[in-house]
């Protein structure tokens, strides 16, 4: 098996694993609210990052050298976390999955705006198509569903902004360290916000192990596989396979919840993913 084939298989596997986050989050929202789930979701990954970094003998030095970068990333990603969980609570895993893939579009636009990267005609066409598809998704359903789509777009923007900050600030930081700092400060800021507004709803203790499992599966295992795929396939092509995320989300949701998005959402989602795929494959270099 050559490197390209390995990269393709790993990229598909990464997409399949990362997609479990949306559906598992929707399931856990039966026991609590979006704000409370956002507080506890990232804690297991923080513990895992601490243990791995300590095992490498770098815990103290990493904290001293990189806590400021982690603070910046955590502040930005706390907005992404709150918007992401809220969008799933409002419009479900499937529709939120389609809309939040718009992070690729925002990533390119932010790179053009702040990193002075160029945008070619094919990329502009991909953005136009993706916008059209997202509008179709957003204008299907009730006003509440439209508001949920808008919240998902804010989540996508915050995710893209945190990736931009990561590219600028964390060039010398170990990926595990970055993930640990990001999730620690995200959990901290989200907790401060949630408790200050009195929105925390206790989660049943018997549910916490399942939350920890799916948090680690999506946030650690999924990204680890993705990093290996990047090594074999390159950033642009690996990123293109992330358009499969909503497809896996729809499959998982149909199996677990016995539900399917309506035709308008599926059509809009397909158009959005087509635009993102065109954009991803047309990039002369990865935006983020």
Look at 76-85, 95-104, 165-174, 213-222 and tell me which has the smallest mean pLDDT. 165-174
Tell whether the model's pLDDT for residue 288 goes beyond 50.
no
**Per-residue pLDDT at 124:** 83
What pLDDT was estimated at residue 107? Answer: 80
Task: Give the separation between CA 253 and CA 219, rounded to whole angstroms.
Answer: 19
On average, the pLDDT of the chain sits at: 85
pLDDT mean over 86-92? 94
The pLDDT tens digits of the residues spanning 112-143 come to 887 777 778 888 888 888 888 877 877 766 77
Q: Given a cut of 50, is residue 287 above it in pLDDT?
A: no
**Per-residue pLDDT band at 202 (split at 50, 70, 90):** very high
Measured between its terminal Cα atoms, the distance across the chain in Å is 29
pLDDT tens figures, 37-78: 999 999 998 888 888 888 878 777 777 887 888 888 889 999
Structure confidence by residue, pLDDT tens digits, 223-265:
788 878 877 776 566 767 778 888 899 989 988 988 877 888 8
DSSP track, 44-97: HHHHHHHHHHHHTT-HHHHHHHHHHHHHHHHHHHHHHHHHHHHHHHHHHHHHHH
Kindly state the DSSP code that residue 284 receives in the 8-state scheme. S
Per DSSP, the residues of 247-276 read: HHHHHHHHHHT-----HHHHHHHHHHHHHH
Q: Give me the pLDDT at residue 32, please.
A: 95
pLDDT at 171: 66
pTM above 0.75, yes or no: yes
Q: Give per-residue pLDDT as tens, 154-196.
A: 999 998 888 777 777 656 677 777 778 888 999 999 999 999 9
What distance lies between CA 264 and its chain's CA centroid?
24
- Residue length of the chain: 288
């Amino acid at each position: 098996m050559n490197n390209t084939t390995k990269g393709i298989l790993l990229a598909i596997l990464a997409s399949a694993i990362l997609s479990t986050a949306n559906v598992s989050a929707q399931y856990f929202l039966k026991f609590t609210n979006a704000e409370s789930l956002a507080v506890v979701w990232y804690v297991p990954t923080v513990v895992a990052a601490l243990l791995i970094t300590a095992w490498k003998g770098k815990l103290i030095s990493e904290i001293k050298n990189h806590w400021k970068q982690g603070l910046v990333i955590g502040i930005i990603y706390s907005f992404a976390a709150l918007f992401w969980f809220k969008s799933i609570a409002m419009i479900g895993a499937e529709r939120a999955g389609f809309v939040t893939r718009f992070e690729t579009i925002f990533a390119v636009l932010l790179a053009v705006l702040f990193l002075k990267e160029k945008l070619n005609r094919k990329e502009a066409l991909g953005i136009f198509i993706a916008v059209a598809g997202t509008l179709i998704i957003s204008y299907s359903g009730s006003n509440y569903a439209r508001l949920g789509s808008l919240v998902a777009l804010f989540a996508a923007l915050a995710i893209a902004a945190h990736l931009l900050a990561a590219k600028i600030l964390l060039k010398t930081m170990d990926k595990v360290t970055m993930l640990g700092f990001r999730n620690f400060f995200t959990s901290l800021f989200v907790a401060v916000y949630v408790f200050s507004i009195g929105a925390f709803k206790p989660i049943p203790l018997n549910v916490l192990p399942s939350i920890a499992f799916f948090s680690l599966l999506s946030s650690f295992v999924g990204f680890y596989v993705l990093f290996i795929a990047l090594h074999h396939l390159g950033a642009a092509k690996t990123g293109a396979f992330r358009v499969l995320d909503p497809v896996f989300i729809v499959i998982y949701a149909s199996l677990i919840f016995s539900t399917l998005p309506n035709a308008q959402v599926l059509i809009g989602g397909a158009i959005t993913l087509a635009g993102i795929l065109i954009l991803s494959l047309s990039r002369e270099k990865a935006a983020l």
